[in-house]
Amino acid sequence: MRLEMGHIYIKDIQFADSSKIENGVLYVSREEAAAVALEDEKIKNVVFDIAKPGESVRITPVKDVIEPRVKVSGRGGVFPGVLAKVDTVGSGTTYALKGMAVVTAGKIVGFQEGIIDMSGPGADYTPFSKTLNLVMVCEPQEGLEPHEYEAAVRFAGFRVAAYVGELARELTPDETKVYETCTIKEGLEKYPDLPRVAYVQMLQSQGLLHDTYVYGVDAKKILPTILSPTETMDGAIVSGNCVSACDKNPTYVHQNNPVVEDLFAQHGKTLNFVCQIITNENVYLADKMRSSDWTAKLCAMLDLDGAIVSQEGFGNPDTDLIMNCKKIEAEGVKTVIITDEYAGRDGKSQSLADADEAADAVITGGNANEVVILPKMDKVIGTLDYVNKIAGASEDTLRADGSLEVELQVITGATNETGFNKLSAR
């Protein structure tokens, strides 16, 4: 599959009477964008705001972060099976608005969403302090159950991102990158001497708002399968998460997965990037066993030499990670696993809930229990009402001077397990 990604750099976002992109500036009509968000009657009200890097702004509770895109040629559309009709994406041409994001916020469950600081020490810990953020705070109709509200906000975010992306359809990209994968046979013929490597991506699928969707299918209902990595780049996987924000993948991370990007950079040079394998992290032991069996089986059938396995989340998915690692290694395929750690505030506790000797090449996204102080910000987009209850906070989190004492867990993307952030350890 061959995908051309046209990058359009956004240098500023401003509210205006009508929406357009001109000379790298995104102008957004609040009325038009609100009409898109409010297409779903489950959402009572939406308030748009703009947060820029370096501003004294705190966004919370953050649900998702999305990169606006438009599909200009080739099969499928933006977020296939979710917004666009089901069709296989990953080929043709897609434009992405770089340097900006749509951020959905508002209290869904309150204690499970994240924080993005646009300046100060908190900004260093989230990749989304570096993007110009069009923030939409969504308020539900009264009586709406949290899971219905989650779905409504998830879809509203995608609709607004697609609306913004559509503004770029007639533009000329500032830069175009081409990503091309081979079929199995082509790969063998073209790169007979290069090691065959796949990316095994574990998708969060524990349920209760720990969910991921693949072409609109709830990932807890999939069996492990194969994707062209260009499908992932083209929006095949989206987030439905509302939980410990530090190590769940917002949709933006799926669209810009660094493991995919970096494997492509080496494709045909030091390795043959054969494909992406997706699997899940379910809450039944039989599912964990079945999915890891299938993942290892696919690795063997593809005659891989190596696999990079990334986890999403923590706790019982540590077992899925170790099962995948053990079983893939048992097929004679070398693995590197990417995870993060819950090693206690002092960093002295066991980092993962499970372990095995086969896991001898491990990359960490950092210790999510590490405590940081986030100074008071001049402006809050959303609300601080839930900041003492958010996972990684405590009743003493909000201090008298307005600062927050929190674990990294609360910060969106802080210990991301695809290497999307900068934290690690040696």
Partner 1 sequence: MVKEIERAGIPVVHICTVTPISMTVGANRIVPAIAIPHPLGNPALDKDEEKALRRSIIEKALGALTTEVSGQTIFE
| Ramachandran category for residue 422: left, alpha or beta (phi over 0 → left; psi -120 to 50 → alpha) | alpha
Look at residue 59 and give its three-state secondary structure.
strand
Q: Which residues pair with 178 in a beta bridge?
A: 4
The stretches of 126-216 forming alpha helices (DSSP H) are 146-166, 184-190
Nearest-approach distance from CB 357 to partner 1, in angstroms: 12
Nearest-approach distance from CB 355 to partner 1, in angstroms: 6
Considering the complex, state which of residue 217 and residue 285 has its C-beta at the smaller distance from partner 1: 285
Output phi, psi for 239, to 5 deg.
Answer: -90, 140
Nearest-approach distance from CB 198 to partner 1, in angstroms: 24
Decide if 375 contacts 367 (C-beta within 8 A).
no
d(CA 124, CA 127): 8
Nearest-approach distance from CB 322 to partner 1, in angstroms: 8
Question: Cα dihedral sign for 223, 158, 251, 84?
Answer: positive
Nearest-approach distance from CB 116 to partner 1, in angstroms: 28
Tokens matching residue 39: 């297409």
Nearest-approach distance from CB 326 to partner 1, in angstroms: 9
Considering the complex, state which of residue 208 and residue 373 has its C-beta at the smaller distance from partner 1: 208
Nearest-approach distance from CB 359 to partner 1, in angstroms: 12
Tokens matching residue 384: 């601080």
d(CA 360, CA 363): 10
Considering the complex, state which of residue 56 and residue 349 has its C-beta at the smaller distance from partner 1: 349
Considering the complex, state which of residue 69 and residue 288 has its C-beta at the smaller distance from partner 1: 288
Considering the complex, state which of residue 131 and residue 205 has its C-beta at the smaller distance from partner 1: 205
- Give, for 323, the enclosing helix (H) or strand (E): helix 317-330
Considering the complex, state which of residue 306 and residue 344 has its C-beta at the smaller distance from partner 1: 344
Nearest-approach distance from CB 403 to partner 1, in angstroms: 34
d(CA 204, CA 399): 33
Considering the complex, state which of residue 48 and residue 342 has its C-beta at the smaller distance from partner 1: 342
Q: What are the E-state strand segments in 212-254?
A: 212-214, 217-218, 225-227, 237-239
Decide if 67 contacts 164 (C-beta within 8 A).
no
Decide if 80 contacts 87 (C-beta within 8 A).
yes
Decide if 10 contacts 99 (C-beta within 8 A).
yes
Catalytic residue among 242, 246, 275, 325, which?
242
Q: Tell me 345's DSSP state.
A: T
d(CA 337, CA 317): 13
Q: Angle at the Cα of 91 (from 90 to 95), degrees rounded to 5?
A: 85
Q: Known catalytic residue: 246?
A: no
Considering the complex, state which of residue 49 and residue 318 has its C-beta at the smaller distance from partner 1: 318
Which positions lie near partner 1, rule CB under 8 A? 206-208, 283-285, 288, 316, 318-319, 322-323, 353-355
Residue 13's contacts (CB-CB under 8 Å, 6 or more residues apart) are: 25, 26, 27, 28, 50, 52, 100, 132, 134
Look at residue 33 and give its three-state secondary structure.
helix
Catalytic residue set: 242
